[in-house]
């Protein structure tokens, strides 16, 4: 998943990095194919090189020291709102077939469970030129319809985003623990494009809560190259973020 995230970052792009896996994906991309990518963090930090010590939050001192810029949340959110951020990474507790994400509340056995909320996810989902969703692939998370839209994808499909006056381009990919999806440009529906090595399409169908749609040129995800693996090890030497693949 880290390597798949890294491959989405193009050289020279300005990226709202987020935390955990995307943070490592950003470091790997910088090391290999996107040396000029810029990382932007919601706390106001902008970096042109990855933090060399592993960190748990974007405000950890190794992510602040020797950064390119330190400012406030409104500074970096204004870059996002003015259309200058190419790409942002987001995740959630639930996603549906139109790429809508929920991090507010879910229901399990009739009981409401309160989740932490949006953070900056709704901002990235509505303002970034494109965004990438990273999720563990489980049936209870891949629901026909999310309980609550925290971070809108393509809403109810079609031209929903235009009707809601949403400026950002919307989700371009969903990277899961089992495969990689893109979106059908007309309907806004998720299309399976890649299955990870060792995973079958049937398995993915079984963990997806709606009738799975598969792209015409469905392929296996190219496995990580030795260079990609070496870069992951460099930035996550203890396997803190990559112990489970």
Partner 1 sequence: MNKLSSLQEAIAGEIHDGMSVVMGCGLESLIPFAAGYEIIRQKKKDLTLIAPISDMQFDQIIGAGCVKKVIAAWVGNVAAGLGHNFRRAAEEGIPHPIEVEDHSNFTIALALKAAAMGLPFLPTKTAAGSDFSRAGNFKPVSCPFSGEELLAVRAIKPDVAILHVQRADPEGNAHIWGNLGVVVEAARAAKKVILTCEEIVDHEVILSDPNRTLIQGFLVSSVVHEPFASHPSPTQGYARRDDDFYFDYHKESRTREGFERWLEKWVLGVKDHKEYLSRIGKEMVRRLRPEGNLFSPSVSFNF
Does residue number 91 form part of the binding site for partner 1 (CB under 8 A)?
Answer: no
* CB proximity list for 52: less than 8 A, separation 6 or greater: 62
Give least dist CB 53 to partner 1, A.
10
Q: Does 135 bind partner 1 (CB under 8 A)?
A: no
Q: Site for partner 1 (CB under 8 A): which residue of 112, 226, 238, 245?
A: 112
Q: Residues for the chain: how many in total?
A: 245
Name which of residues 179 to 238 contact partner 1 (CB under 8 A).
none
**Does 117 engage in binding with partner 1 (CB under 8 A)?**
yes
Instruction: Respond yes or no: is residue 42 known to be catalytic.
Output: yes
Strand order in the sheet with 87-90: 69-70, 45-47, 38-40, 14-16, 87-90, 130-135, 171-176, 179-183, 190-195, 214-220
**On the CB side of 124, how many CA atoms lie within 13 Å of its CA?**
28
| Cα gap 144→184, rounded to integer Å | 16
Please tell me which residue in 8, 42, 189, 207 is annotated as part of the active site.
Answer: 42
- Residue 71 in the binding site for partner 1 (CB under 8 A): yes
Query: How far is C-alpha 113 from the geometric centre of its chain's CA atoms?
Result: 23
The residues of the shown chain that bind partner 1, judged by CB under 8 A, are 19, 41-45, 56-61, 64-66, 70-74, 77, 80-81, 104, 111-123, 125-127, 148-152, 155, 160-161, 164-167
Catalytic residues: 42
């Amino acid at each position: 998943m880290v390597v798949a995230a890294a491959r989405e970052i193009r050289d020279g792009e300005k990226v709202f990095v987020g935390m955990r896996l995307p943070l490592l994906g950003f470091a790997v991309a910088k090391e290999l194919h996107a040396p000029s990518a810029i990382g932007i963090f919601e706390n106001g930090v902008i970096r042109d090189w990855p933090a060399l010590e592993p960190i748990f939050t974007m405000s950890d001192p190794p992510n602040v020291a020797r950064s390119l810029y330190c400012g406030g949340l409104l500074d970096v959110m204004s870059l996002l709102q003015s259309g200058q951020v190419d790409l942002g990474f987001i995740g959630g507790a639930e996603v549906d077939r139109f790429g809508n994400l929920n991090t507010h509340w879910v229901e399990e056995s009739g009981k409401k469970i309160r989740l932490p909320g949006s953070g900056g996810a709704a901002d990235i989902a509505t303002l970034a030129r494109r965004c990438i969703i990273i999720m563990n692939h489980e049936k209870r998370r891949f629901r026909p319809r999310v309980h609550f839209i925290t971070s809108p994808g393509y809403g109810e499909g079609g031209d929903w985003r235009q009707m809601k006056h949403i400026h950002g381009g919307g989700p371009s990919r969903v990277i899961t623990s089992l495969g990689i999806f893109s979106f059908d440009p007309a309907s806004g529906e998720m299309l399976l494009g890649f299955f990870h090595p060792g995973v079958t399409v049937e398995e993915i169908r079984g963990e997806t809560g709606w009738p799975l749609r598969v792209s015409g040129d469905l392929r296996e995800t190219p496995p990580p190259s030795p260079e990609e693996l070496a870069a992951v090890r460099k930035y996550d030497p203890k396997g803190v973020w990559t112990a489970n693949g």
